[in-house]
Structure 1
């Protein structure tokens, strides 16, 4: 027997179904990206120092940047930023919004395909897994959906494809509505032979009237920085905070930081207020140019994750290390481009500053390295002493002439590399590591020479050249080429040249400064070869590109200093200790095959 509902119960049930139907048919409430993140984003423990619910209020300056991403009147967004300000989180929140709330075909580009895979595994996958709004939509997290791979993830209404700027196939494969381009200053000038990777990606968006292009990067060299060029075309917005004393709005600037008090000086009233007082103020973004593109600049002074005292300490450390470290500080802490003050070196400068050493090995030297350049009719050799903070002393520049097809020059080379060099107090130093160039016409002979002398730290080397936009570490790997199977060290030539150029530009005795003796083979001709290359900016297809230009026929001095720098990197010594001849063994970096 079926029991009939009373009129009152029927009315209540009817109202309930009406409310359910109304809610089902109603569009979801309009959310901005920041509101979406506050409601739906969950931070993963392996990808964040603070796991749990996302809070935009933790770094309030991020709010307007995120909300610009889903602003229907904004197509292009540019973020030129330092490290430690949450720019990757802004990208991830935009990604999450378009997966869950406004499903679309999305392309996320990293500088290389390898970095795209890392970003997918280390940042994207944990976000999807730990945010229920995403994991229930993206295939593979709640089912055995095989459409979910490291570089491609599908969801109802769209997909996310991750790719490298160096892989043209991934940039031109399918129509895209949302392009997220991360670290664009590390992008190559061309994706294979297809052209500029950013142009390739942007062409994929032409089918969508509501397309979005978000470009993010830490800047690099002035005049060659992609993100700076994009930022200069934008609204150029800076986050302004009111002075805790006078209330005048202004961006936090490095030049206004007082090192002694660790406070920021107001550019209007001059009052020094501490970090807490400044960061506790309610800020606003202020545009300094008119443009449909919105551009935002961020530096570490705004970051809730960095204390001003730490940033000041980093600057002082970079100043001690020299030009290259200062460049990194300006890029990654201040979010500003580095302006090269001239990358051509004058040989006369080094001739004038030659010194008379008190002994064969000056007192500041802790360890010796050597480098050998192999020419058709000679060996050119430089021995370098290294001290605290990579201060260096040229010890001897030596040339061995002869027919390298005969054993004579090789015997002389062996004798020279076995020499002991003496300090004023009589302590003797042996060469701890020697690198010999295996290029040219004597590759097999170099292998035969170095293999039995490996226990003396004598290695064959080969330069690994690449575009300046592609990073190759100074020690790029080890191999054992057949048939001789001598250890071959692969050298990142560009990285070595930049390091040497930076050191040669240091003009104050101390960290990274290069000393040169009078005599000992350091002639005017040597200094011409030391200064035979310069770093210049050229334009390829309208885009700036840095490259090395050899301005003299011979460059042995420059090459040998690069090899000596690599030898020090292999040794990885503690330069607070000395390594005289009776104990030259030092901890070498672990070899890795490539």
Structure 2
């Protein structure tokens, strides 16, 4: 009987443990007690410490506040946005179990998030590890995009996938990088609205929206932030104690153009004007910095923070160096800097360039290949009766020079016209010192009526850097990177480069707005009477180059931008996009010296390694 009573008593205790409310601790407190950073997820694995990034404490507390329904975080880079989301997931897994949905911009990103960030956290945090069913390929309770635990589950969805969003009711929604979400999830409508609708059955629902902003007037995160408490982090001036935000406009710096490094950086006080270093502004960070709301809101707290507030791995000197790099690269890179570093939306003036202005920019080159050119690329547009070819030169900071526009006419069903194309792409072009330049990368359009022929022709020429391309454009504002991977799913097994043409056009138009001679600019030759070409950069060329315009459209009330043709022919613009993709695909080191005069600039290009994320301690 005693044994039976003990079992009954234990069952009663266990039952009470399941139904009693969790202890009232915040997400920040939970993370300090239970979260363990994984080697895959952090340069410094081990127990989580909110004190290392004290600005994260208040936003995390807001998520676990029972009086708050929605939390909006419009944050810059290097501020731990993903880490805070993982802490929230851990909290609603191990402390206050609930059905959770995490939404990423697309399913590929969702899978990467699950494999690279979520699974390691569940594995390495002692409280969470026993709760989540281990990965088993035949266990429907645990897959990459779906995991269960006592009292709840987690779905990891892609905003581009209606099927992944169509789940059972959800209490906790965490939506990451919502400004990168498509306008519509298939034909189902706005993905954010779809998921919010699934939380309505829960009186204690939680919605967390996180993103860097994009374009003013079209940014989802900015719109949500404006309908919130609009909280910003304020720091006291080291001299007068006046509370203020850290703003880019207050930064004063010294920059060495030769080494491209920031040698000194300070920030002045808005009140007294005193200059102080990053270390001085961030002294006693946890006790002196304070979040201050801009307005009252009953259920939604919003936080905006730029990367000047970062405490780990991203110093003010790095911010300055990134700004200077963006400034050299033109409007598109500046936009990215202010979006991702300053957490500010970008006000677009409308990307429309007049063809007459570009014509007036033409200049007489001293040689076929002007000074400054390090590499040549070519782009080929396939028409029914001809090939249109544009050869471009490239130099430091992706500055470019048009070298030669050429057409090869003929019946594309006959071998002769393909041989003529091959001969042209095998030529050399000479600079003033006598160096001969060969084309290092060629991208060829595979659309139209000769797709198989293009694949067949490009396949054996891959060793010469000649590849077929396939342009991709969703037409609904969904972002696709310029270099969007490769495929060889064709009868000839030829490598086909997938191009996000909308981003390519944005980069081309950005370069056209830069003053000639400045980093990232685009330059054009006048016809040379001593070396006449049958095809020149004439008025028709510039009309084609500017034949599209970026316009705003709306779908289900959500604004998005698309490129729209303003005239019938746009081959020159297409070729400019292919050339831009070609040089980015090469990723060359523009600092390498050219060979001695008289030599041929040729040979395979060894791309410089793309920079890894910097892991440098803050000056704090």
TM-score, with length taken from structure 1: 0.90
Q: Is this contact kept in 1: 2:106–2:160, CA < 8 A?
A: yes
Distance of 2:24 and 2:586 partners within structure 1: 59
CA RMSD for the aligned pairs?
A: 2.6
Measured after TM superposition, the shift of residue 453 of structure 1 is 4.2
**1:429 aligned to which of 434, 437, 458:** 437
Gaps of 5+ in 1: 1-16
Q: How many residues align?
A: 569
**1:272 aligned to which of 270, 275, 280:** 275
Distance of 1:406 and 1:43 partners within structure 2: 62
Measured after TM superposition, the shift of residue 269 of structure 1 is 0.7
Shift of the 250–508 alpha-carbon distance from structure 1 to 2, 3 Å rule, reads: farther
**1:481 aligned to which of 478, 483, 490:** 490
Measured after TM superposition, the shift of residue 63 of structure 1 is 1.4
Shift of the 442–151 alpha-carbon distance from structure 1 to 2, 3 Å rule, reads: closer
**1:349 aligned to which of 357, 361, 382:** 357
Shift of the 32–427 alpha-carbon distance from structure 1 to 2, 3 Å rule, reads: closer
* SS of structure 1 residue aligned to 2:203: coil
Distance of 1:345 and 1:73 partners within structure 2: 51
Distance of 1:508 and 1:380 partners within structure 2: 25
**1:203 aligned to which of 188, 197, 202:** 197
* SS of structure 2 residue aligned to 1:498: helix
Partner of 1:377: 385
Distance of 1:28 and 1:529 partners within structure 2: 65
**2:479 aligned to which of 466, 470, 476:** 470
After TM superposition, list the pairs within 5 Å mapping 1:32-51 onto structure 2.
32-51=26-45
Q: Is this contact kept in 1: 2:371–2:431, CA < 8 A?
A: yes
Measured after TM superposition, the shift of residue 402 of structure 1 is 3.9
Partner of 2:167: 173
Distance of 1:567 and 1:91 partners within structure 2: 37
After TM superposition, list the pairs within 5 Å mapping 1:174-573 onto structure 2.
174-260=168-254, 261-280=264-283, 281=285, 282-292=288-298, 293-305=300-312, 306-466=314-474, 467-474=476-483, 476-479=485-488, 481-482=490-491, 484-519=492-527, 521-573=536-588
Shift of the 131–485 alpha-carbon distance from structure 1 to 2, 3 Å rule, reads: closer
* 1:155-184: CA deviation from partner (whole Å, max 9, x where unpaired): 222222221112222222201111111111
Of 265-274 and 576-585, the range deviating more from structure 2: 576-585
Distance of 1:231 and 1:254 partners within structure 2: 20
Measured after TM superposition, the shift of residue 573 of structure 1 is 2.9
After TM superposition, list the pairs within 5 Å mapping 1:138-153 onto structure 2.
138-140=132-134, 147-153=141-147
Corresponding position: 1:587 with 2:605: yes
Partner of 2:258: none
Measured after TM superposition, the shift of residue 73 of structure 1 is 1.8
* 1:444-489: CA deviation from partner (whole Å, max 9, x where unpaired): 343444345444433332223335423244253142621x454433
Distance of 1:468 and 1:27 partners within structure 2: 44
Shift of the 508–418 alpha-carbon distance from structure 1 to 2, 3 Å rule, reads: closer
* 1:18-57: CA deviation from partner (whole Å, max 9, x where unpaired): xx99x98996642122222222222223212232222222
* Structure whose alpha-carbon radius of gyration is higher: 1
Measured after TM superposition, the shift of residue 339 of structure 1 is 2.1
After TM superposition, list the pairs within 5 Å mapping 1:63-74 onto structure 2.
63-74=57-68
Corresponding position: 1:578 with 2:587: no
Shift of the 547–114 alpha-carbon distance from structure 1 to 2, 3 Å rule, reads: same
Distance of 1:385 and 1:130 partners within structure 2: 51
**2:72 aligned to which of 70, 78, 81:** 78
Distance of 1:486 and 1:408 partners within structure 2: 22
Gaps of 5+ in 2: 1-9, 255-263, 528-532, 609-620
Of 488-497 and 117-126, the range deviating more from structure 2: 488-497
* SS of structure 1 residue aligned to 2:373: coil
Distance of 2:85 and 2:541 partners within structure 1: 51
Q: Is this contact kept in 1: 2:436–2:601, CA < 8 A?
A: no
